[in-house]
Structure formats: C-alpha cells, structure tokens
C-alpha cells in the first residue's frame, strides 16, 4: 500500500504566512505539466510494484490548473502505476480559483475528495492572511462541491490570528460544521521563517496572540468538534468516523509515498528524499532526463523510532508493545513518567497503550520530548 | 649515536677551537659561553610571538616554507584560534653571530595576558636575559611594567625592543622616552623593530649574544636541573622541560626528583626544536627535555629539581612559588558517570598547566564534580575549552567566585571557595575577602572615567603617577570579587581600549558580605549561591532573578525564582507555565525538521540539571557572568 503526492507549484498570489513552494507566474504551467508527466515516467520502477491506494494533489493551488490538465496528469499516473480499485484521490482547491463546473470534471476524472482552503469565514481574517477570496466565495465553493456530488469534503481552517477573538473562532468553527464536512483541518497559525508574516512579527507590526489564547482556541475546537461527532485523529485533523485522510494518515504510519513536482518529499524503507524546491532546477533536471532530486536522508533505526513516537503521539496514542517489539527500547520499569503524566492529566494509560487527553494534545510536543528522553536505547 | 660520544672526547679540543667541532658534529654547544638563554616578554599582543617567528626564520630553525602560519610557536589550537599565547614555548636555535662563533640560543616565548603571568615567571628562571617588547603604537602598558619587574627581580639582562614601527600610529620617540624612564637605559640600548617588515631581527640576535650573559653553572658539580614546564603524552607519560643549572644529565642516569622524592631511569633526553630532538645528554646551561618514564601524573611537578641519584646535589633549587589561584568555580561532568574520567583529564591537564588546582566537591544540583582554582576568567575559560576539546569532556561550570576567609564566633577560621559552604550566618563573626593591588595605565583623558569605575567597584584610591605627560599610572586597591567578572571589559570600553590593567594579591580584608541564595519553587539551588556585598545584594538579587527568568525555559508549571539572604527573600521573579506546546503541521519537510529538533532536545536534555521538578539548563549556572550592568 502506497501513496502518490503531486505538488502543483502555482498560486494566484502568495499568502503572507505561507512557506509552501509556489510561484505566482502562471506562464510555466504547460511546461510544468509535461515535465510532471515525464517525472512520472522517470520514477523508479519499484513504485510499479506497489499498489497505490491514495493520490493527493497539493500545492500551491492545484485548482489553478484546469481540470483538463489535472485529468491528463491522473491519466499518466494510471498508465504508470498500479492503482487500487477504490483509491482515495484528493485535490486541494482554493475558493476564488474555481468555477462550479470544475467539480463535475474532477469527479469524472476520478477525483473523489476535495480539500478546500477556506481558512476562515471572516473577511477580516482572510484579508489579514492576504488570501484571494472572501467569506462568501468560501461558502459558495463548499456548497458547489457538495451540489456537484462530492461526498468527501475537507475544510481547512486557521486559528490564532491576530484578527481573531476566541468568540470569533467559536463562530467560525460552528459555521464550518454547519456544512457537515466529512473532514476538518484546523491549524494554529504558524509563523514560518522567511515569510512576510515573520518579518511583520519581527518588526512589531503584527502581534501574534498569546499561547494562552491559542490553547483556548485549540481546546474549543477539540471539544466542539467531538460533540459534533468528529474524531480527533491527529493534532490538527478531525473527521467523521472512517473519513480520515487516508493519504495523510499513511505519512504518519511510515507507509511509502512518492512525491512528484518541485519540493515534493518521498519516503520508502527508511529513506526520505525530496525534489528541488525551485521550478527552474526542476524543469532543467527533467529536460536532461534526470530525476529532480535535491536531497535525501537515510533514517537510522533510532531516527525511525523518534519519528514513529512523534507520529503516534500526534495521532493521540503511543503503543508501547509495538515500540518495544520493533525498536527494542527499554522503558523505565517504575513508570514514573507515565504516572506523572497521568497525574497531570496529560494521558490515560491502559494495557501498554498511552492515549493523550485533550490537555495532552495541547502539550503534545512536550510529551513527545519527555517520552523520547525516557527511552534508553537512544 | 657515535657523534655524541665523539663530542665528549673532543670536549678538550673544543677549548682550542670550538667552532670547528660545533659545526661538524653537535647539536649542543660544548661551552657554556656559547649558550644564551632568554625569553621574550611583553604586554599582550605587542608582538612577542611574531618576533619569535622572525628569529626562528633568521636562524634557519624553520624555513619560510615551513612557516605555515603566523606565530608558529603558538601550536595549540586555541592559541591559533584566539591569536594569543597561552603557554610558554621553549625552542632551541643555532645562530652564527657577527663574531663568527656559533651560538646556541634557547628562546622562550611567553604569554602576555595577566592570567598567564605564572608562565612568565617560570620562564624567567630558565633564562639569563629577556627581550622586553613594546608596541610602538601602544607604548608602555600594564604588563610591560609587571613583566619587566619580574624579569629584573629574577636578575635578567633586559633588551628593550620597540616593535611595530611600521604602523602609521607608531609613536616611536614617545615610546623611547617611556622606556628610558622605566628602565633607566640609554637610547642606544633600544632596538627598533618591525616583526612584520622583518626590521631589527639581526640587531636583536646580536644584542642577545653580546648583552646577555652566558649561563654560569658548574658542569662538573652534581646534577641540578629545574623543571620549568611539563606536558603529558599518552604514550610516553610525563615529559618535563628543564634547565640544567649544574652538572650533566645523560640517558640511563638514575635521577631523583626532589619534591616528589621519586627515582627514575632517564629514558630519553634531548633538546626542544620544532619537534623534540634526542641528544642523549644535557649539560649545565642547557635547556631541553627529559622523559623520565613516569606514567603517573603525580610523579613530576613543575618547579621541582632533578638530580642524579648516585651523585645527588645537597638540596633543590629554590623552585617556584605556587601559583595563587584567584577565582574558583565548580566543574561538573554533564553526565554523572563521567566523574572519574573528568578527574583523569584534570590531572593530565595539570601536567600541562602548572597553575591549575582542583579538588573534589559535590553539589545537590549538580552531583559530583570538582572545585577548581584559576588565575583569572580567561584561564578558567581556557581550561574549560581544553577539557572539552583535548579531553572530550562535557562540562557544566558554575559561576566563579573568590576565596573568602571566614572567622567564626568560636575563633575558627574557614576558607570558603564555594559559597554553598559558607557557615550559617549565626556562626560568623566576620568575613574577609581578598583585595588586590591594581595598576591601571591609561591615557590621561580617561582618568575620570576610570576613577568612577573603580569607585563603583568599591575601590580604594592610592595614587597617580605619570609615565609621560599623556600617560598616567593609577594605583587602586580593589576587592578581587569586583574585578573578576567584567571589570576588564568595562575598563576597556570606558577608555576606548587604551587602558590596561595589572594586579596582584594584596591581603584579605573584612567586608560586609552576605550569602545570597537562589530558590526555585522554594528549593535552594546550591550551585547558584553567591557571596556579595550587602549594599549590592538587592540590586544583584533582582538582576540575577531576571536573568534566570530568561535562561530557564518555561516548564509545564509555574516556576518562582527567589533570591534570599538567610530566610529573607529580597527579590522574586516568575516564569509562567507553558500554555501550549505542539506544532500545527507535520507533513513532507516538516517531519525531518521536527525530528531533528527532538534529537537536539535529547542532546540538550543531557545538559539540563533537575532541581525538584525544575529543569535548569547549563547556561543558567553561569547566569551571573552574562549579567549586564
Ligand atoms: N603592523 C605590525 N603588526 C605586528 C607586528 N608584530 C606583530 N604584529 C601583529 O600584532 C598582533 C599580535 O602579535 P603576536 O605576535 O601574537 O603578539 P604576542 O605579544 O605574542 O601576543 P600574546 O602572546 O597573546 O601576548 C598580530 O596580529 C601580529 O600580526 C609588527 O611589527 N607590525
Ligand atoms: S494559496 Fe496556499 S499555497 Fe498558495 S500561497 Fe496561499 S497558502 Fe500558500
Ligand atoms: Mg604570543
């Protein structure tokens, strides 16, 4: 079982907080698509032996490419790889880049899941984020997707914006739920290095909300979405039962995936590698018949273990029996850490399995660090 | 080696024509009259090591091509990196002088920094003369004077050299007058040089030959050799650098070390060129090395005298005063299991650094470690770095402090070099702290600034003299504790870098001192205790708490930091609890990034110490050092 990720490196306009690789120049689209198809053909033959269960168009903004182009790419993928009978095929789309009939075309080319970059239902927030769309466009896009027949819709939201109060956020998340999306991703705004936002924060023109408020917003999302029947299956991801993103879940289970397009990452058998984060280099490599590889890392067993602990805890649990079998780690027999964490209401623990509480999710990184520090093969 | 045997046989002829024999067959001069032992002394950075480069080149000890870097004698990685000399470096040269005779010159390059003056005083004992270097653009500075006095006290012939005359800012005439006033020499005695432009090199060499007396020992008397330095070699054990004063030392001789009362068979004897060169013997007047085959670091001691066990000298040479450590700090292994390894490393390092002293101690916060004494903060920093680099030790160091003399009510006197061990207030009659005599040399326009600085540091003004109309020599008495941290930096910044400082221990004096404890969530952290003057305690406590707030990362609970004198809390700060700690996204490139962070934290964890539930990073133990005014 494996996945394929396709990175579409175009956006109508760069958002101030974004550190994904994308460019605003659309003139290279045609060339990019034909290179991507070549990259698919250049891919290592081992991938032909895998059964591909998920395909994911991410970006950038995949919806700036015409559905026809997306269809062509999908066809090339089908030609090259062994696709399972009922794959999960997702496309990220952004309101403001899409016209209603696109959805029908997506469906007919085999796409069965859309992830909509809504971010907020407040114009003020959207303006702050320098998104190209407004709240009503966001609403319409969701409705269009549903009307066109999509029955697996994900909505992306961002909270902890300087323009938001806790009440604003509560309102946004309630609005999102009203659409009955199968999946919601709610991300705390991250100030990434070298983005316009980080410069604004540094210069003091923007003040990021205190951790205290961020934590309240996070806690509210967890609580409210759970009440509404959503399962909190990863720090920032919630879904109706059985509607998790299979593609993303595979990342967090160290399943193999092949990333195509500039900056895309791939993983297989302890090896991670990534493509050039620059469309020029990417196109040049492919023109020369080369894989557009930028770098790679081979994970030591210890590194694999670290990632696995981190992934598992981000998914709200830690399976000690599994870790002990797979990595031969030694646990403190007195279980002092576990007792402390239970006492402080960060985890529940039963039969070798740790489960994060709501409070535990808020401190997930800290807990990960503590578990890793307590293991003694490291 | 036949040659050496020949040499002894021809010893007699050498009286007739020494030059011919020297030229043909020997590394060592036959007669003491053709030996010159001298060192180069100066204030820091005046160009000692660069002059040494030129002498090495000119005498053919090293070719220009072999001169891979500047200050080639500064062969320690740290010396090259920092561009300063840390240790004395002895080297053997051959020089054919204008009088057609070939001379053996044993040169010792010395450090200029005040923390390493012990290296200078030890070097002087192995020499009959000293080249006193003065930077033409700086003039006479504090260590010019202090090192000069050391040399005069040791009875050395002084050759003043004004270096860097190539610099546009050279004040050659003015500096000449400063020197004449200082030494009472004639203008003609002063050599004008530029090590950079290779000016004055021959003049220096000729002056060494002509003005410095030959050594005056007795080659036929029982062996007496002074150990002026040593190193530890993991294969050969200890290697001692010696100046033979009387007699002859040959390989296989049974030698006795006076102070340690140990006996060895001399395994290898030789001279110090760029590498060690085995000569099998050293005679009165020579400088060289001896490998005694001593594997235990305690067997040899710098300052000790070596004699021949079968024909011993009556008694040892005067040796050296032990270096007086000025500051003390705790050195703890990051990983408690490495205590033994740290001890071994310290012992080996002490072979290389005679001024280092240490003894075991323990701390509630840090576990088992050592309290070490240093000559100053730079010395402490160097020791720490050498332990880390040369001995791969991971260390936590505590805030340095001076040694207090505590007189208890019952009359007992305790020396306290670790604030944590200060007796309870109720038992103390009075506390004395070390005062130093400071000499500050400065251009006159900065006198006002410097006086203000000294007053702020509880200094007692003594007097001012003038080296020339533009340069003053200020004398103060200051508590040592007030100058060890940032006094020197402040002095430099308040004088645009022109003032220089020299100091030596004066006496212990009673002061109104208190012990300041730091508590984290109510638990006292022994390694953070300090002793401060009562008038400064409040200010100090407040700053320390604020600094710790910045250095201790947020924890999952609130941390209250308090500074207290006895049970009285005088300052307080809090680190609020962490409210959230989770990154939002973990896809693609985020994964490796996040993993690397976790790996780093795991590494960092080792450097964290726990007091109660509070994790304290290593830097916090040095918080005081990083405190701004
Ligand atoms: N312009 C000029 N620079 C010089 C001369 N001699 C030395 N220097 C420079 O002065 C600096 C200090 O020289 P060193 O030889 O390291 O001085 P030092 O006295 O050995 O210093 P310490 O051992 O640390 O006390 C270096 O940057 C040298 O390049 C000279 O004649 N002219
Ligand atoms: S639309 Fe998405 S990918 Fe494009 S700039 Fe904005 S946040 Fe980045
Ligand atoms: Mg030097």
**Is residue A311, in this structure, part of any structural domain at all?**
yes
Which CA distances in Å does B262 have to A325, B223, B254, B313, B508? 59, 15, 10, 15, 37
Ligand nearest to the CA of A12: 2
- Residue A350 belongs to some domain of the structure: yes
Summarize pLDDT for B89-121 with one digit per residue, the tens.
Answer: 999 999 999 999 999 999 999 999 999 989 999
The whole-number pLDDT of residue A376 equals 67
Whether the Cβ atoms of residue B285 and residue B215 lie closer than 8 Å to each other = yes
Residue nearest to atom 9 of ligand 1 (CA): B47
pLDDT at B604 over 70: yes
Evaluate whether B162 touches B134 at the Cβ level (below 8 Å). yes
**A110-119, B316-325, B348-357, B532-541 — most confident range:** A110-119
Q: Is the Cβ pair A211, B579 closer than 8 Å?
A: yes
Query: In this structure, are A103 and A208 located in the same domain?
Result: yes
Q: Nearest-CA residue of chain B relative to A373? A: B602
Pick the range with the lowest mean pLDDT from A260-269, B60-69, B602-611.
Answer: B602-611
The answer for residues whose C-beta is within 8 angstroms of residue B343's C-beta and 6 or more apart is B360, B370
> How much is the average pLDDT of B6-14?
35
Q: Which of B584, B592, B599 lies nearest to residue A187, judging by beta carbons?
A: B584
Q: Is residue B620 over pLDDT 60?
A: yes
Q: State whether A297 and B589 contact (CB < 8 Å).
A: no
Assess whether A198 and A306 both reside in one domain. Answer: no
B249 has pLDDT over 90: yes
Question: Are B586 and A311 a contacting pair at CB < 8 A?
Answer: yes
Using the predicted structure, report yes or no on whether residue B503 has a pLDDT greater than 70: yes
Average pLDDT, chain A: 95
CB pairs under 8 A between A and B: 89
Say if the Cβ atoms of B582 and A365 lie within 8 Å: yes
Write out chain B residues lying below 8 Å of A221, CB-based. none
**Stretch B379-408: mean pLDDT:** 93
Beta strands (DSSP E) in B187-223 are: 191-192
Chain A positions touching B589 (Cβ under 8 A) are: 263, 265, 274
Q: What does the alpha-carbon distance between residue B507 and residue B504 come to, in Å, rounded to a whole number?
A: 10
Q: What b/e string do you get for B575-594 counting C-beta neighbours within 10 Å, with b at 16 or more?
A: beebbbbbbbbbebbbbbeb
8 A C-beta contact, residue B302 and residue B320 = yes
Q: For residue A165, give both structure tokens.
A: 């109060």
**Confidence at residue B570, expressed as pLDDT on a 0 to 100 scale:** 96
Q: Is the pLDDT of residue B605 over 90?
A: no
A27 is a domain residue: yes
Look at residue B55 and give its three-state secondary structure: helix
More confident of the two residues B270 and B1 = B270
Whose CA is closest to atom 12 on ligand 1? Answer: B45
Residue B334: per-residue pLDDT: 86
Interface of B with A in 529-568 (CB under 8 A): 556
The CATH number given to whatever domain includes residue A23 is 3.20.20.70
Element (H, E) at B373: strand B367-374
Ligand found nearest the CA of B116: 1
Most A CBs within 10 Å, among B590, B594, B595, B610, to test the A interface: B595
pLDDT digits (tens, 9 = 90+) for A169-207: 999 999 999 999 999 999 999 999 999 999 999 999 999
What domain count does chain A have? 2
If asked whether residues A105 and A167 sit together in one domain, one would say: yes
pLDDT of residue B425: 87
Ligand nearest to the CA of residue A97, numbered in listed order: 2
Tell whether A90 is covered by a domain. Answer: yes
Q: What is the structure's pLDDT at A47?
A: 97
| HSE-up (13 A, CA, CB side) for residue A156 | 19
Kindly write down the DSSP assignment for every residue of B74-139, as one continuous string.
--SHHHHHHTS--S-EEEEEEEE-TTS-EEEEEEEE---SGGGHHHHHHHHTT-SEEEEEEETTT-
Interface with chain A: mutation pick from B553, B557, B580, highest number of A CBs within 10 Å: B580
Q: Are residues A101 and A245 in the same domain?
A: yes
Q: Let me know: does B535 contact B558? Beta carbons within 8 Å.
A: no
pLDDT in tens, B511-546: 999 999 999 999 999 989 999 999 999 999 999 999
Cα angle for residues A306, A312, A318 (degrees, 5° grid): 95
CA–CA distance, B265 with B252 (Å, rounded to integer): 5
Ligand nearest to the CA of A192: 2
Q: Is the pLDDT of residue B628 over 60?
A: no
Q: Are B482 and B459 in contact (CB under 8 A)?
A: yes
Question: A277 lies in a domain?
Answer: no
Are B514 and B538 contacting, i.e. CB atoms less than 8 angstroms apart? no
With contact defined as beta carbons under 8 Å apart, do A156 and A221 qualify? Answer: no
User: Cα of A134 to ligand 2 centre, how many Å?
Assistant: 15
Question: What is the 3-class SS of chain A, one letter each residue?
Answer: CEEEEEEECECCCCCCCCCCCCECCHHHHHHHHHHHHHHHHHCCHHHHHCEEEEEEEEECCHHHCCHHHHHHHHHHHHHHCEEEEEEEEEEEECCCCCCCHHHHHHHHCCCCEEEEEEECCCHHHHHHCCCCCCHHHHHHHHHHHHHCCCCCEEEEEEECCCCCCHHHHHHHHHHHHHCCCCEEEEEECCCCCCCHHHHHHHHCCCCCCCHHHHHHHHHHHHHHHHHCCCEEEECCEEECCCCCCHHHHHHCCCCCEEEECCCCEEEECCEEEEECCCHHHHHHHHHCCCCCEEEEEECCHHHHHHHHHHHHHHCCEEEHHHHHHHHCCCCCCCCHHHHHHHHCCCEEEECCEEEECHHHHHCHHHHHHHHHHHCCCC
> Which of B559, B581, B585 minimizes the C-alpha distance to B572?
B559
Do A206 and A316 belong to one domain? no
Task: Give B196 Cα–ligand 1 centroid separation in angstroms.
Answer: 8
Q: What share of chain B is helix, strand, coil (3-state, %, to 5)?
A: 30, 35, 35
Q: Does residue A231 share a domain with residue A103?
A: yes
The ipTM estimated for the assembled molecules is 0.94
Of A214, A364, A366, the CB nearest to B556: A366
- CATH code for the domain in which residue A356 is found: 1.10.10.920
Q: Would you say B452 and B476 are in contact if contact means Cβ atoms under 8 Å apart?
A: no
Contact between B599 and B374 (Cβ < 8 Å): no
Residue among A190, A306, A366 minimizing CB distance to B585: A190
A44 within some domain? yes
A17 shares a domain with A141: yes
Is B603 at the interface with chain A, CB within 8 A? Answer: no
Q: What confidence score (pLDDT) does residue B391 get?
A: 92
User: Rounded CA gap, A47 and A269, in Å?
Assistant: 12
Q: Using the mean position of ligand 1's atoms as its centre, give its distance from the Cα of residue B194 in Å.
A: 10
Q: Which of A212, A236, A252 is the last residue of a domain?
A: A252
In a domain, A348, yes or no: yes
B484 vs A70, more confident: A70
How many CB atoms neighbour CB B47 within 10 A? 25
**Nearest chain A residue to B602, by CA:** A373
pLDDT band at B12 (very low <50, low <70, confident <90, very high): very low
Query: Contact A314/B586, CB-based, under 8 Å?
Result: yes
Using left for φ > 0, alpha for ψ between -120 and 50, and beta otherwise, residue B532 falls in beta
Q: Which of A211, A265, A363 sits opposite B589 (nearest CB)?
A: A265
The predicted structure's pLDDT at residue B21:
35
* A357, A208: one domain: no
Same domain flag for A237 and A341: no
Distance of CA B210 to the CA centre of its chain: 32
Same domain for A312 and A229: no
Q: Token pair for residue B224?
A: 């007496």
Q: Which of B578, B579, B598 sits opposite A306 (nearest CB)?
A: B598
Q: Calculate the CA B151 to chain-centre distance.
A: 17
**Is A306 found in the same domain as A167?**
no
Longest dimension (CA), chain A: 63
How far does the CA of residue B164 sit from the closest CA of chain A (Å)?
Answer: 46
Among A148, A249, A210, A281, residue whose Cα is nearest residue B554: A210
Domain interval for residue A136:
2-252
Residue A322 belongs to some domain of the structure: yes
Distance of alpha carbon B495 from alpha carbon B483, whole angstroms: 16
Omega of the bond leading into A15 within 30 degrees of 0 (cis): no
pLDDT in tens, B368-386: 999 999 999 899 999 999 9
Asked if A317 and A184 sit in the same domain, the reply is no
Residues of B in contact with A359 (CB under 8 A): none
Contacts with A265 from chain B: Cβ below 8 Å: 588-589, 591
- Residue B455, CA distances (Å) to A111, B452, B573 in order: 80, 5, 30
Question: Could you give the 3-state DSSP secondary structure of residue B483?
Answer: helix
B610 touches chain A (CB under 8 A): no
Does residue B163 line the site of ligand 1, with CB under 6 A? yes
Compute how many other C-beta atoms are within 10 angstroms of the C-beta atom of residue B11.
Answer: 15
Mean of the per-residue pLDDT values of chain B: 90
Measured distance CA(A22)–CA(B78) in Å, rounded: 46
Nearest C-alpha of chain A: how many angstroms from B193? 53
d(CA A30, CA A65): 9
């Amino acid at each position: 079982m494996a996945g394929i990720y396709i990175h579409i490196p175009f956006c109508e306009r760069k958002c101030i907080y974004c550190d994904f690789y994308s460019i605003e120049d659309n003139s290279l689209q045609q060339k990019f698509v034909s290179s991507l198809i070549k990259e698919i053909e250049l891919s290592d033959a081992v991938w032909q032996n895998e059964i591909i269960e998920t395909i994911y168009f991410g970006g950038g903004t995949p919806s700036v490419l015409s559905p026809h182009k997306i269809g062509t790419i999908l066809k090339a993928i089908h030609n090259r790889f062994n696709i399972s009978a009922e794959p999960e095929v997702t496309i990220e789309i952004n309101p403001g880049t899409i016209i209603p009939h696109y959805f029908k075309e997506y469906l007919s080319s085999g796409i069965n899941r859309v992830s909509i970059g809504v971010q907020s239902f407040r114009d003020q927030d959207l303006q702050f984020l320098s998104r190209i769309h407004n709240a009503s466009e966001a609403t319409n896009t969701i409705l269009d997707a549903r009307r066109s027949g999509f029955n697996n819709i994900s909505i992306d939201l961002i909270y902890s914006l300087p323009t938001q109060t806790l009440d604003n956020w509560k309102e946004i998340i309630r609005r999102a739920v009203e659409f009955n999306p199968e999946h919601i991703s709610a991300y705390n705004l991250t100030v990434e290095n070298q983005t316009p936002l980080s410069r604004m924060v540094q210069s003091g023109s923007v003040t990021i909300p205190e951790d205290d408020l961020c934590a309240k917003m996070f806690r509210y999302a967890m609580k409210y979405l759970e009440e509404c029947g959503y399962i909190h299956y990863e720090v920032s991801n919630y879904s109706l039962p059985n509607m998790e993103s299979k593609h993303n879940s595979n990342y967090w289970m160290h399943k193999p995936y092949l990333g195509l397009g500039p900056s895309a990452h791939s993983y297989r058998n302890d090896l991670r590698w990534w493509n050039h984060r620059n469309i020029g280099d990417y196109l040049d490599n492919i023109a020369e018949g080369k894989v557009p590889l930028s770098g790679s890392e081979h994970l030591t067993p210890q590194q694999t273990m670290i990632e696995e602990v981190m992934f598992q805890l981000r998914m709200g649990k830690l399976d000690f029996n599994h870790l002990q079998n797979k990595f031969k780690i030694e646990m403190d027999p007195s279980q002092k850490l576990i007792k402390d964490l239970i006492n402080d209401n960060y985890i529940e623990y039963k039969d070798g399995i740790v489960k994060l509480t709501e409070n535990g999710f808020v401190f997930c990184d800290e807990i990960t660090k503590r578990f890793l520090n307590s293991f003694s093969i490291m | 080696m036949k040659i050496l045997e020949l040499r002894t046989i021809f010893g007699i002829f050498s009286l007739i024509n020494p030059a011919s024999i020297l030229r043909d067959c020997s590394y060592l001069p036959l007669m003491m009259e053709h030996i010159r032992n001298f060192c180069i002394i100066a204030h820091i950075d005046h160009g000692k090591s660069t002059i040494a480069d030129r002498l090495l080149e000119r005498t053919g000890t090293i070719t220009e091509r072999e001169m891979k870097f500047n200050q080639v004698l500064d062969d320690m990685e740290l010396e090259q990196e920092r561009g300063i000399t840390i240790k004395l470096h002895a080297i053997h040269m051959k020089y054919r002088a204008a009088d057609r005779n070939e001379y053996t010159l044993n040169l010792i390059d010395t450090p200029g920094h005040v923390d390493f003056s012990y290296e200078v005083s030890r070097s002087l004992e192995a020499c009959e003369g000293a080249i006193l270097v003065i930077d033409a653009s700086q003039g006479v500075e504090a260590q010019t004077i202090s090192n000069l006095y050391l040399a005069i006290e040791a009875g050395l012939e002084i050759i003043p050299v004004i270096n860097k005359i190539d610099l546009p800012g050279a004040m050659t005439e003015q500096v000449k007058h400063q020197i004449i006033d200082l030494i009472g020499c004639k203008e003609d005695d002063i050599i004008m040089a530029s090590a950079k432009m290779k000016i004055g090199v021959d003049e220096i060499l000729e002056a060494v030959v002509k003005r410095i007396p030959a050594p005056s020992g007795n080659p036929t008397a029982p062996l007496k050799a002074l150990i002026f330095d040593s190193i530890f070699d993991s294969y050969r054990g200890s290697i001692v650098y010696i100046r033979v004063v009387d007699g002859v030392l040959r390989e296989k001789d049974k030698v006795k070390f006076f102070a340690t009362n140990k006996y060895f068979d001399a395994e290898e004897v030789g001279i110090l060129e760029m590498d060690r060169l085995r000569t099998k013997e050293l005679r009165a007047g020579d400088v060289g090395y001896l490998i005694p085959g001593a594997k235990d670091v305690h067997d040899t001691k710098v300052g000790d005298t070596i004699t021949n066990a079968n024909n011993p000298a009556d008694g040892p040479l005067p040796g050296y005063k032990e270096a007086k450590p000025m500051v003390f700090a705790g050195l703890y292994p990051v990983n408690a299991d490495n205590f033994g390894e740290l001890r071994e490393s310290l012992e080996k390092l002490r072979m290389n650094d005679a001024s280092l002293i240490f003894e075991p101690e323990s701390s509630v916060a840090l576990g088992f470690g050592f309290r070490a004494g240093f000559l100053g903060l730079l010395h402490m920093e160097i020791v720490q770095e050498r332990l880390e680099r040369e001995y791969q030790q991971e260390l936590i160091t505590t805030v340095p402090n001076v040694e207090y003399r505590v007189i208890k009510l019952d009359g007992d006197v305790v020396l306290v070099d670790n604030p944590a061990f200060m007796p309870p207030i109720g038992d103390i009659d009075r506390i004395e702290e070390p005062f130093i005599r400071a000499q500050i040399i400065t251009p006159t326009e900065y006198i006002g600034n410097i006086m203000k600085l000294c007053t702020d540091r509880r200094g007692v003004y003594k007097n001012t003299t003038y080296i020339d109309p533009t340069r003053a020599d200020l004398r103060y008495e200051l508590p040592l504790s007030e100058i060890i941290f940032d006094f020197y930096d402040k002095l430099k910044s308040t004088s645009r870098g022109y003032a220089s400082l020299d100091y030596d221990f004066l006496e212990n004096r009673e002061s109104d001192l208190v012990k300041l404890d730091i508590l984290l969530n109510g638990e006292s952290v022994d390694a953070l205790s300090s002793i401060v003057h009562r008038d400064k305690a409040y200010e100090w406590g407040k700053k320390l708490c604020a600094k710790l707030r910045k250095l201790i990362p947020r924890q999952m609970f609130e941390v209250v930091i308090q500074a207290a004198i006895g049970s009285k809390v005088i300052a307080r700060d809090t680190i609020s609890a962490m409210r959230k700690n989770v990154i939002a996204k973990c896809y693609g490139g985020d994964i490796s990034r996040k993993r690397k962070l976790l790996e780093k934290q795991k590494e960092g964890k080792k450097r964290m110490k726990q007091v109660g539930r509070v994790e304290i990073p290593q830097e916090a133990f040095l918080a005081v050092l990083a405190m701004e005014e």
